[in-house]
Amino acid sequence: MSDDVTFRVFRGEPDESGKPNGKMVDYTVEMDEGMVVLDVIHRIQAEHAPDLSCRWNCKAGKCGSCSAEVNGKPRLMCMTRMDEIMHETPEGQPILVKPMQTFPLTKDLVTDLEWAYQINQTIPPLSGPDEMNWEFDQIEADRVQEFRSCIECMLCVNTCHVMREHQLFGQFAGPRFFVRLANLEMHPMDEEDRIAMIKDDFGIGYCNITRCCTEVCPAGINITDNAIIPLKERVVTEYYDPVAIIAKKLGIRK
Amino acid sequence: MGGNIALPLVRGFGRTDRIDSWWKQPLWMATALTAAVIYTGLRVVFFDGEIHYDNHRVTSPIFSPDIIHMFDISAPSWANSAMLILWIPFGFRGTCYYMRRVYHRVFFQNPTGCVVSKPEISYRFGYKGETGLFVLNNIHRYMLYLAIMVLIVKVYDVWHTMQFHEGSSDTLGVSVGTLVLATESFLLTMYVVSCHAFRHMFGGGLDRWTGKFGRIIGKVYWRVSSTNVHHAFWFWTSLAMVFIGDLSVWSVAEGILSDPVLIML
């Protein structure tokens, strides 16, 4: 048995000034059991709007391509089950699907993530001993392993109010890149010191710990508690803790 | 880094595409915190008469450590110990990473909810996050050190409730008041050891946990991390227990409730 479902999808492109310019269009399609939001979008493409743009790849929550805002919540379309969406949507109300609104619009549900590629290149990569016989304990590896499950879907950046509401893309690295920085800084073999960059160039002080990034992470990374706050604590040690600063000057700590 | 990005499509205080009841959580948190502040203010300033019973055997958590009594300090009649020591728990909780999330959301609407737009004033004055005035939150680890000292006194308070003096004889026992203060001390202990700064102190600031001592530190780090996941739970339960403890002490001191002795050794 199948029901019809109505999606209200953003259709449009940026205008000459780069601002999103488009409209919400209703599409009604048949919904089968077990469908996810991305399946419905594909059915809309197949039956009503072959020119509807959406980015997707793995359909398994691993590539991070199909990020969008469904009923106002940032989520991966391929991992959002329709039965959950139908449960949360009031009877007779269409399901709202919009692109990630923090990033510049390319077309319809596709956004331009060029900023993410640019900032990624500014982060000093892992720098360990020249000898490649790196050995460390599992207990040390476990901490950074969590960060490696990031799929770079950018839902966290899209949700972060520092980016979404204030567009501090020039001053603030955003949750995704604090996850990468935490991965590098806490790596047991890494010898690079990025704390000054984390404070000044990547602007960790702009984060006010509202945890929205953690709430939307489809990989389940505890971004705020395990990446951002530990980095903030390291910044405190270097710049705001008088005892730690004196200890460093006296050579008691590195 | 790249240039500015086009503005979000939906903007204005409380405007969002979300259809769930996102406002419920900030509303109850704002109500709870406001009630806590008002209750504390009234209790400390106007109703500080009944803060202990059984000749100081059980003291209200709000007024503990009761340093005026402990050190026999000569203070004006309107002064009480809470006025001297409350800045420590307030400072510790006020700079707590979890508390920052709460007050930035519920009192500064920065933002009130995720993917919910902010009031116009937030844009007019610009956003500084914790680079402006809130940089003061970085004293949190020092507040932690002070909170640990207070916690030691709280544990002593529990021991003190077990010491019964009848005439010239001293006996050990357990009353309901002991259990109330023990619960409060336990919840506060969990709140303190699940603190992010505490985790940083015990291994979080290190990249390597090698050697015998390092491995122990690593294990402590993971144990603290397992409590850190529930930091919010310990925050709220320990806060609630302070007030439950105070109400309990006040009720017994006023004669409304009794404090039955459960065990007498």
- Return residues 4-33 of B near A (CB < 8 Å): 4-11, 16-20
Edge to edge, the sheet with strand A20-31 lists A20-31, A3-14, A95-98, A67-70, A73-76
pLDDT in tens, B75-87: 888 899 999 999 9
A31 to chain B, closest Cα gap in Å: 21
Amino acid, res. A182: A
CATH of the domain at A241: 1.10.1060.10
**Cβ contact A241–B141 (<8 Å):** yes
pLDDT, tens digit only, all 265 positions of chain B: 444 444 445 778 889 999 999 999 999 999 999 999 999 999 999 988 899 998 889 999 999 888 898 888 888 888 999 999 999 999 999 999 999 999 999 999 999 999 999 998 888 888 999 999 999 999 999 999 999 999 999 999 999 999 998 777 888 999 999 999 999 999 999 999 999 999 999 999 999 999 899 999 999 999 999 999 999 999 999 999 999 999 999 999 999 999 999 998 8
Residues of B in contact with A102 (CB under 8 A): 5, 8
Strand segments, DSSP code E, in B102-209 are 163-166, 169-175
Residues paired with residue A95 on neighbouring β-strands, in sequence order:
A7
Minimal Cβ distance to B209: which of A74, A140, A224: A140
Same domain membership, residue A10 and residue A24: yes
- Chains A, B: CB contacts within 8 A come to 177
Q: Which of A110, A134, A155 is the last residue of a domain?
A: A110
Full domain range(s) for residue A150: 114-249
CB of B110 within 8 Å of a chain A CB? The answer is: yes
Distance spanning both ends of chain A, measured CA to CA:
67
Dist CA A99 CA A210 (whole Å): 23
Residue A80 inside a domain? The answer is: yes
**Cβ contact B222–A101 (<8 Å):** no
Dist CA B33 CA B30 (whole Å): 5
Residue B9: predicted pLDDT: 59
Residue B137: predicted pLDDT: 96
Residue A254 inside a domain? The answer is: no
A-chain residue closest to B231, CA distance: A225
3-class secondary structure, A249: helix
Same domain membership, residue A225 and residue A136: yes
Dist CA A135 CA A145 (whole Å): 15
3-class secondary structure, A4: strand
Cβ-proximal residues to B60 (8 Å cutoff; 6+ apart), any chain: B51, B52, B245, B246, B249, B250
3-class secondary structure, A74: strand
Minimal Cβ distance to B114: which of A205, A209, A212: A212
Q: How many residues does chain B have?
A: 265
Residue pair B264/B164 in contact by the 8 Å Cβ criterion = yes
B-chain residue closest to A232, CA distance: B138
Q: Which of A110, A127, A143 is the last residue of a domain?
A: A110
Minimal Cβ distance to B6: which of A20, A161, A225: A20
Q: Which of A93, A110, A127 is the last residue of a domain?
A: A110
Same domain membership, residue A174 and residue A242: yes
**Cβ contact B204–A230 (<8 Å):** yes
**Cβ contact B114–A205 (<8 Å):** no
**Cβ contact B196–A237 (<8 Å):** no
Cβ-proximal residues to B20 (8 Å cutoff; 6+ apart), any chain: A71, A73, A88
Dist CA A97 CA B137 (whole Å): 38
Residue A162 inside a domain? The answer is: yes
Same domain membership, residue A121 and residue A245: yes
Residues of B in contact with A207 (CB under 8 A): 129-130
Same domain membership, residue A225 and residue A121: yes
Number of domains making up chain A: 2
**Cβ contact B17–A206 (<8 Å):** no
Same domain membership, residue A82 and residue A128: no
**Cβ contact A230–B200 (<8 Å):** yes
Residue B7: predicted pLDDT: 44
pLDDT in tens, B169-204: 888 999 999 999 999 999 999 999 999 999 999 999
**Cβ contact B123–A211 (<8 Å):** no
Give me the average pLDDT of each 10-residue run along chain A (254 residues): 87 85 93 97 98 96 97 97 96 95 94 96 96 91 96 98 94 97 97 97 97 97 98 97 93 86
Same domain membership, residue A218 and residue A159: yes
CATH of the domain at A61: 3.10.20.30
Residue B153: predicted pLDDT: 93
**Cβ contact A225–B10 (<8 Å):** no
B53 to chain A, closest Cα gap in Å: 42
B1, B99, B104, best to mutate vs chain A, most A CBs in 10 Å: B1
Residue A55 inside a domain? The answer is: yes
Residue A2: predicted pLDDT: 66
